[in-house]
Chain A
Amino acid sequence: MVKKVGIEVSVAIGEAVRLANADVVAAYPITPQTHIVEHLAELVADGDLDAAYIPVESEHSAMSACLGSAAAGARTFTATAGQGLELMHEVLYVASSMRLPVVMAVANRALSSPLSVWGDHSDVMAVRDTGWIQIFTENGQEVVDNVLCAFKIAEDRKVLLPVMIHLDGFHLSHVIEPIVFPEQEAVDKFLPINNFPFALHPAKPVTMGDFAPPIIYPEAKWAQEVNLRASKEVILRTWQEFGQAFGRHYSPVESYKTEGARVLLLTMGSFSETAMTVIDKLQGEGRKVGLVRLRLWRPFPFEELRQAVKGAETLIVVDRALSFGGPGGPVCSEVRSALYGQDKKPKVVSFVAGLGGRDITPAGFETIINRGIAIAQKGSANEFEIFGVRGADAEL
């Protein structure tokens, strides 16, 4: 029987990996991801997950071991955060370029220095262009469901790409939530056994990871780009199949009370839940404000985004990362560029907030919305606004 349990989201991820019957987990501990790998180690130690757990000596080796394991044809999982994701950086490109279907949960964390173990999206944004499929999640249920979907998407023969599931460090990774776990039988039906077509095996020798002179390198990269874009079809199909099987539905862009809204707020990750309560409140006061949430980060859902913001006058994007010396929030730049060529488009205002785990309260979101509207009307000399920072924020 399907039941709802109160469980820490990190532990729930371990349970999802168990349901997916992963073959190999290679991981290195880092806050705030530790509870995920601790629980996986426990599941393996108790024989509840029949997998090899490789306790590597660094994140660089974690992802490297994942390359080897996925290339051997094993279902492979890892998790990391912040500095760990940065240490993996060069290996991430190899995973996607060599078409190795690794699944990784990232408990999003700020980057040093100064050292911060708390959450923001600096780590995600630094690996934006590594060629991975990337999904932002909002709550524990979404994380669990998308870990299951991630294996199916990654291992699809038409895709064969690694997938990152992003969840906000602490704000999501460490909270206890009511989560529904699907039955093992239903998961097995939804998620077939991994059948990697180029597995390293003496019976069928393959050479993987050649070096490419200029005569062939651009073709290899273009093939990768075409493939990542085409993966969207499989992502949509997988979410659809998941919805049919388990009754929970996912889409690349989520709209919340956007009908008739003239002002839209755009967020990613768990802060969207806070934003929703603010939308409820403002709509109760008769204001035409709605929320758009970006779930699929790569491949970027251009069409869905354009549809979601069509008709709005103002779009306020709240980033949780800085692009130093650049246009402000990385998500906002992408949103702007996605809308730039459109005849009719909202004015886009960029806010950066919630760095290094600093909370954005409902009142904070309300301020952001009000200031965003004012900036859209009067304009601003700034490329972007920083919110909630002493010395930079006139209203504090």
Chain B
Amino acid sequence: MQNYNVYVPRLVPKKDTFVPGHRACIGCGEALAVRLACKALGSNVVIANATGCMEIVSSPLPTTSWKVPWIHTLFENTAAVASGIESGLKMLMKKGRIAREDIKVVAMAGDGGTSDIGLQALSGAMERGHNFLYICFDNEAYMNTGIQRSSATPFGAATTTSPAGKQSIGQMSWKKNMPAIAAAHNIPYVATACPSYPFDMMEKVKKGIDTPGPAYVHILSVCPTGWRCPTDLTVRMGRLAVETGIFPLYEVENGKYKLNFDFPELRPVTDYLKLQGRFRHLSDDLLAKIQKRVTADYAALKEKASDD
């Protein structure tokens, strides 16, 4: 494996459809995730994007970072817009007004646009069975508007609307389990991914668009700006989230859970939490509470994945 650094880049498709010039922060894990996802999606795709970081950084008039057809309309309606695109293209092909081909429809949104304000539209689109892939780029808060908490913000994290203080430990609730909500819609494909595991992530995106019917991929996108961590640790941070069991990588194919990376022993959650300013106020008691919850959740997931 000495030539790993030389060999690996060759495995990644050269062609980019999310191109440089955008204005994402230094060390942005989401821009990395979008770029890799777009490599996996290829060119025969139409993207509907929710309001959020990626929309703002990539489309200031009159410029664009998108080399594929891309539409942004509002914050909470992206799944509905995607269902309209999918139905429109389908009918135009059926009526012979455009050539019949396999154009993929993809919706992209952040964690706020997915697990909070856009949840209803997403639920509707998944339930109706549209043939599309929904990707949630989860950076665990409303980063675009200045680090406000969302329902995807982890327990104990300080944000500008869940600040740590004399009466507050930061976020008081546990992270909403969005992939489980997607899976509860009985859609054929649900997966979690992280650009720190680029091949796994791209494979899941590919699998998502190749699956007929709705697919949901939830991508942890490290945000050094909002997480208060060094900008050169983005990739490392994603790995730690997985290695501690805080963000396990798994798939749910037709209801069947599969853990993609298992570890004989999980790292302590402090390896991950201690590197981030958003958790620095946490007492040993609270850190222990988080550890207990992560261990239990991981065990429950493993149990689900081992069921036959």
Interfacial residues, chain A to chain B (CB-CB below 8 A)? 23-24, 26, 50-52, 54-58, 60-62, 64-74, 76, 90-91, 94, 98, 193, 200-202, 204-213, 216, 220
Contact = CB atoms under 8 A, between A and B. Distances in A.
A200 B106 CA distance: 12
Given A61-B77, A212-B61, A200 B71 contact: yes
A98 B70 CA distance: 13
A57 B97 CA distance: 29
Interface of B: 43-46, 48, 55-56, 59-62, 64, 66-74, 76-77, 79-92, 94-95, 97-98, 103, 120-121, 123-125, 127-128
Given A57-B123, A220-B61, 12 more contacts: A51-B91, A52-B90, A54-B87, A57-B120, A61-B125, A62-B80, A64-B80, A68-B80, A70-B88, A91-B77, A202-B46, A210-B62
20 contacts: A23-B91, A24-B87, A54-B83, A60-B80, A61-B120, A61-B121, A61-B124, A68-B88, A71-B71, A73-B92, A73-B98, A91-B73, A94-B73, A202-B46, A202-B69, A207-B59, A208-B70, A208-B71, A210-B62, A211-B60
Nearest to B46: A200
B122 to A, nearest CB: 10
A55 B127 CA distance: 11
Contact of B60 (A58, A72, A213): A213
B69 A205 contact: yes
Given A193-B97, A207-B59, A216-B61, A72 B74 contact: no
Contacts of A67: 71, 73, 77, 81, 84
Q: Chain A CB within 10 Å — which of B56, B74, B81, B97 has the most?
A: B81
B302 to A, nearest CB: 34
B59 A201 contact: no
A24 B84 contact: yes
B74 to A, nearest CB: 6
Contacts of B125: 61
Contacts of A207: 59, 64, 66, 69-71
B89 to A, nearest CB: 5
Nearest to A202: B44
A47 to B, nearest CB: 12
Nearest to A71: B71
Q: Chain A CB within 10 Å — which of B48, B61, B82 has the most?
A: B61
Q: Chain B CB within 10 Å — which of A62, A98, A206, A211 has the most?
A: A211
Contacts of B80: 56, 60-62, 64-65, 68
Contacts of A54: 83-84, 87, 128
Contacts of B103: 201-202
A65 B81 contact: yes
A65 B87 contact: yes
A17 to B, nearest CB: 14
A95 to B, nearest CB: 9
Contacts of A50: 91, 94-95
Contacts of A209: 59, 71-73
A324 to B, nearest CB: 27
Nearest to B94: A50
A62 B83 CA distance: 10
A205 B67 contact: yes
A306 to B, nearest CB: 38
B18 to A, nearest CB: 12
Contacts of A193: 97
A210 B74 contact: no
A363 B91 CA distance: 52
Nearest to A62: B80
B43 to A, nearest CB: 6
A69 B74 contact: no
A71 B80 CA distance: 13
A96 B64 CA distance: 22
A202 B123 contact: no
A283 B91 CA distance: 54
A76 to B, nearest CB: 7
Contacts of A204: 69
A68 B85 contact: yes
B85 A200 contact: yes
Given A60-B77, A73-B88, A207-B70, A68 B60 contact: no
A384 to B, nearest CB: 36
B74 A64 contact: yes
A91 B74 contact: yes
B87 A64 contact: no
Contacts of B87: 24, 26, 52, 54, 65, 68-69, 74
A21 B200 CA distance: 45
A23 B84 CA distance: 11
A72 B92 contact: yes
B61 A202 contact: no
A236 to B, nearest CB: 29
Nearest to A95: B73
Contact of B91 (A58, A64, A71, A74): A74
A275 to B, nearest CB: 40
A52 B69 contact: no
Contacts of A56: 80, 83, 124, 128
Contacts of B82: 68
A51 B74 CA distance: 25
A72 to B, nearest CB: 3
Contacts of A66: 84
Q: Chain A CB within 10 Å — which of B70, B71, B88, B103 has the most?
A: B88
Given A60-B76, A61-B80, A68-B84, A210 B64 contact: yes
B88 A58 contact: no
Contacts of B55: 211
Contact of A64 (B121, B127, B128): B121
Contacts of A220: 61
